[in-house]
Amino acid sequence: MRGYMNLIYKIAFAIFGRRVRRKEDAYAETRATLEQAHIPLPYDIYISTAYLYAHLLGILGAFLGYLLAPLVYRLCKTLMNSRQFISPVDLRSVSGYMEIASAVILAILIATLLGAISYYLMLMYPYLIATTRKTKIDLTLPHVVAYMNALSKGGLSLISIFESLSEQTNVYGEAAEEIAYIVMDTKYHGTDLLTALKTAAIGTRSEKFRDFLDNLISIVETGGDAESFFGNMVDHYQRSAAADQNSYLELLAMVAETYITVFVAGPLFLITILIVMGMMGPGSLLALKLVIYVMIPISAAAFAVLLSIISIGSDTNMIKIYTETRKIKQYDDVRTMLVEDDERMVRRLMRSLRWTSVIANGKTPLKPFYSDPARTFYLSVPIAILILGYTAYYGEGLTIDRLDDAVVAGLLIVIVPYLFFYEMQTRRIRQIEDSVPGFLRKLAVVNDVGMPLTAAIKKISDVNLGVLSTEVKLMRKDMEWSHNIADSLIKFERRVRTIAISRIVTLITKASESTGNIKETLRIAASDAALAERLRREKFTSMFSYLVIVYLSFAVFLLVLYVFATMFIPMVPAGAGGGGGMLSLDANESEYTTLFMHAAMIQGFFSGIIAGQMTGESACTGLKHAVTMLVVAYLLFTVFIG
């Protein structure tokens, strides 16, 4: 794939590169935006690629216009005949010229439209990524500064703190990534730290991060106290974190209103118009199918991708934790001799270990699904495929109704088990994260009286901490066996694997490496965890109203289709091609009912996914809403309409 894209870049630059470079000043803003978005492409190659895609889509649009021209011409001719249009010119004598002219005009229009849309979308993409990165930097900066504050208390230099932070970009997000670019500038470009800080301050899109760097530059130049500076900035950012999140919530609110207006009310309006047009003449049924089966899914999927781009992620999202294993080769040259009894004992030991694993899994057969809900697909997907295969090849023959039943049943079989274990896992993680700030505060109090961290954890393990009690007791057992608090915390991080927990564990372990007195680090971690939990609750409360609006808009969508299917369509006579009269439909009632059911199920499924992305910022979070809306739409049309 990378080689294919490199070939496209080379072709684009060879064709349009000189033209773009002649207008270098005109693309100065795009060049800066590409750097702020961290898109690893020079501006001339990127804009040349945009020109290439625009021309290719323009050619495709011209070809589509040429293919659609006869259909559009016949449709216009049919509409003109149905309305007894009177022309001063005999249209039959110029019909050939009109058909050619319509083909040329339609080809030019579609080619221009697709080319312009492609070009401007590619120019808008860096702005969207850069703006999203700005928001993510602003929201992750308080956690990054808290990490710097904790490490500065151990006496680490500023560049050492930056290097440590650059290794934690998967935990601390975009703000840590900006710091990583500063480290890269000093390591690989030979730039001194002060110059690298000034360069980053000029290049960043985030005003908040720029202010932080400007203040840090002043501390470096004057030789001020970095520890006090980081402590003051932590307090400042924690106080302003709610205001920063409100700006992001306003963006999400605008996106939610756009979705409801354009992607829920819009298709409903089009369906209504097409049904009314179907009463006037033929040709609207195909357009109605295109709206239901093409426009609604593609537009909803595109909107979901947009939400995933602008999403800042959630602290309860799972992260990947990589482990490195090495094979010890120091004893490869040592000669070993195994006698027959030793080989027999090794085989018995391996067989015993295998049976022990089987018995342990048999006692808790659902444990693998709780730890990884995606494992349910290994069972549910084959069952769904068998159901679809049985419906297609056996039974009373393949009909639309039987196929609908099989598809809905297959989707439920695939999604519901995964959804159950995913929700159980998410609920447990949230309960753990709710308990973490209190646990850290207790730990800080016990550690404050002089008790070492290991002894403090052993002492607190006897206290009831809710769902966190099990994890703390596991940490205590790990410490008793390994006598290493850092390893115990890392194992706890691997068991939970969320951003919030990883952030806390990373903060404590890295701070404990630089200093033995970590009571202030524990307080910083507790304050950081409490801030993250408070922001999560405020966000959910703010976006819950839009979740209700999505449900209400879907209910209106269902109500309108229900009225069409039960009151409007049955009153209109059906006629082939509109031959049943001026007010007639070119399909029977059952076909329209099936189309309405499919429209409701498709709209409900994608509305649920998008609702989950807006409230929980994850498509998996929206599965429960998607299944609910899908089942409601299916039952409405199969039970109440029939």
CA distance 412 to 415: 5
Instruction: Mark out the alpha helices in 564-641 (DSSP H runs).
Output: 589-616, 623-635
How far from 587 is each of 173, 278, 429, 591, CA to CA, in Å?
55, 9, 52, 6
Res 76: pLDDT: 64
Instruction: Give one DSSP letter per residue of 556-580, joined into a string.
Output: HHHHHHHHIIIIIGGGSPB-GGGTT
- Checking if the pLDDT of 501 tops 50, the result is yes
Counting DSSP H helices and E strands in the chain, the numbers are 23, 0
Beta bridge partners of 498: 318
Read off the pLDDT of residues 609-634 as tens digits, 9 standing for 90 and up. Answer: 988 888 766 778 888 999 999 999 99
**90 burial class (0-12, 13-18, 19+ CB within 10 angstroms)?**
exposed
pLDDT digits (tens, 9 = 90+) for 256-309: 888 888 888 888 888 888 777 665 555 567 778 888 888 888 888 888 887 877
Which two tokens mark 188?
A: 């690989």
Residues sharing a CB contact under 8 Å with residue 122, sequence separation 6 or more, in sequence order: 46, 49, 50, 53, 54
Q: Please check whether residue 552 is in contact with residue 264, taking contact to mean a CB–CB distance below 8 angstroms.
A: no
**Lowest-pLDDT choice from 379-383, 402-406, 555-559:** 402-406
Answer whether residue 372 shows pLDDT above 70.
Answer: yes
φ/ψ of 581, rounded to 5, equals 130, 180
pLDDT of res. 77 = 63
Q: What is the pLDDT of residues 186-226, one digit of tens each?
A: 988 888 888 999 999 988 888 889 999 999 999 988 888 88
Question: pLDDT higher for 48 or 525?
Answer: 48
Output the pTM of the full model.
0.72
- From the list 207, 166, 209, the residue with the least C-alpha distance to 188 is 166
> How many Å apart are CA 248 and CA 447, to the nearest integer?
38
Distance CA 37, CA 126 (A): 6
Question: Which among 426, 436, 464, 377 has a CA at the least distance from the CA of 617?
Answer: 426
Give the percent of the chain with pLDDT over 90.
Answer: 11
Residue 362: its pLDDT value, please?
63
Residue 50 above 80 pLDDT?
yes
Q: In 267-383, where do the E strands start and end?
A: none
DSSP class per residue in 184-249: HHHHHS---HHHHHHHHHHH-S-HHHHHHHHHHHHHHHHT--HHHHHHHHHHHHHHHHHHHHHHHH
- Judged by average pLDDT, the poorest of 168-177, 470-479, 511-520 is 511-520
Sign of CA dihedral 332, 334, 335, 336: negative
Provide the 3-class DSSP secondary structure of residue 318.
Answer: strand
- Give the pLDDT confidence score for residue 154 in this predicted structure: 76
Quick one: which of 160, 141, 138, 163 has its CA closest to 230? 141
Eight-state DSSP code of residue 585: B
Six token digits for residue 65: 């216009």
Residue 170 has pLDDT above 70, yes or no: yes
In this structure, what DSSP letter does residue 261 have?
I
What is the spatial distance between Cα 136 and Cα 206, in angstroms, rounded to a whole number?
9
Between helix 265-280 and helix 519-563 the angle, nearest 10°, is: 10
| Type of residue at 476 | R
Average pLDDT, the chain: 79
- Token code pair at residue 326: 């090495």
Does residue 270 contact residue 291 with C-beta atoms inside 8 Å?
yes
pLDDT-wise least confident of 185-194, 222-231, 393-402, 484-493: 393-402
Q: Are 514 and 152 in contact (CB under 8 A)?
A: no
Lowest mean pLDDT, pick from 226-240, 257-271, 347-361, 442-456: 347-361
291 DSSP 8-state letter: I
Q: Which of 240, 257, 169, 145 is nearest to 553 (CA)?
A: 257
Would you list the DSSP string of 105-158?
Answer: HHHHHHHHHHHHHHHHHHHHHHHHHHHHHHHHHHHHHHHHHHHHHHHHTTT--H
- pLDDT bracket for residue 326 (50, 70, 90): low
